[in-house]
Chain A
Amino acid sequence: GAVVSQHPSRVICKSGTSVKIECRSLDFQATTMFWYRQFPKQSLMLMATSNEGSKATYEQGVEKDKFLINHASLTLSTLTVTSAHPEDSSFYICSAKRGSGQPQHFGDGTRLSIL
């Protein structure tokens, strides 16, 4: 159990376009979902924490108007990278947890490449 699905797994698009990434908890209800960014050979950097039905909490230095997060249901959160530019190219990973004190389960990530 505790499967988290992320879609798409890879996306390539032109500079200036917006890209939406979906994160779904397949076999459990996720009260909290997290979005991370990972550069090659580096650790995971937390971008934001989202709770179902409320606004996301962004980490310092993360532009909330650029990285729009929606957590509309207990099984779905979306990250939209608005007006993407080459510097936004990265590996974006989501995670989900059942509740407080429960472990985070990660999706398989989305490789975003902006040309």
Chain B
Amino acid sequence: QQQVKQSPQSLIVQKGGISIINCAYENTAFDYFPWYQQFPGKGPALLIAIRPDVSEKKEGRFTISFNKSAKQFSLHIMDSQPGDSATYFCAASAGTDKLIFGTGTRLQVFP
């Protein structure tokens, strides 16, 4: 019940296209859903986060869509660029601030 399932495992997108990564959870106590971006040999960097009181949050080219009833949330990267090529992790936490990470999605954006 503590798992966060993430898909796809890998994603190849053409420059300018939309990258979509999906996550699903079971624990209804989760109340914080961040997305992290990680480049090889570096630590994860917080991209964007959402709480369940809103269904969508947008920051620049990055948008989180949240479906509370389906217990799913997704990251959309608009106008994907080669510099966006990285591994993306969704995560969730429930009050204790301990993050449960998804399995990660390796995104490759080709020019």
Which A residues have a C-beta under 8 Å from some C-beta of B? 4, 6, 32, 34, 41-44, 46, 49, 93, 95, 97, 100-109, 111
Contacts and interface: CB of A to CB of B under 8 A. Distances in A.
A105 B44 CA distance: 8
Contacts of B41: 108-109, 111
Contacts of B104: 41-43
Given A44-B44, A44-B101, A109-B42, 6 more contacts: A41-B104, A44-B89, A46-B99, A100-B97, A101-B97, A111-B41
Interface residues of B, number: 19
Contact of B97 (A32, A42, A107): A32
Contacts of B61: none
Contacts, number: 49
Contact of A106 (B32, B44, B102, B103): B44
24 contacts: A4-B43, A6-B43, A32-B97, A41-B106, A42-B103, A42-B104, A43-B89, A43-B101, A43-B103, A43-B104, A44-B44, A44-B101, A46-B99, A49-B98, A97-B97, A103-B34, A103-B46, A104-B46, A104-B97, A107-B43, A108-B41, A108-B42, A109-B41, A109-B43
B54 interface: no
A103 B49 contact: yes
